[in-house]
């Protein structure tokens, strides 16, 4: 077996290995990404409806709320 044939054979093995493991590792990285937080600390919480308008605003009683749509 010549050097070129060996290199082509190794390249084919590498390509097969990569083709098999790349999707496995890619999809495995996104599996189980759902995080649940027990405590959420915020000064202001805007709840937005599906059309993008602010449906409800909750804010800390120690800080006055701004009008809907204004940045804090």
pLDDT tens digits for range 4-51: 999 999 999 999 999 999 988 888 877 766 677 777 777 888 888 888
Does a structural domain hold residue 36? yes
Overall pTM surpassing 0.75 (yes/no): no
Does a structural domain hold residue 65? no
Closest CA to 72 of 57, 50, 53: 57
Please tell me the total count of domains within the chain.
Answer: 1
Phi, psi of 47 (to 5 degrees): -100, 120
Does a structural domain hold residue 67? no
Q: Tokens 């120690």 map to which residue? A: 62
Does a structural domain hold residue 23? yes
Distance from chain centroid for Cα 27: 12
- Compute the radius of gyration of the chain from its Cα atoms: 27
66 versus 20: which is more confidently predicted?
20
Domain span holding position 38: 3-59
Does a structural domain hold residue 34? yes
């Amino acid at each position: 077996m010549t050097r070129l044939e060996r290199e082509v054979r190794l390249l084919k093995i590498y390509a097969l290995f990569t083709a098999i493991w790349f999707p496995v590792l890619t999809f495995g990285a996104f599996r189980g990404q759902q995080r649940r937080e027990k405590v959420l600390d915020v000064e202001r919480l805007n709840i937005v409806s599906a059309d993008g308008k602010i449906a409800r605003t909750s804010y800390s009683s120690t800080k006055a709320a701004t009008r809907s749509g204004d940045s804090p």
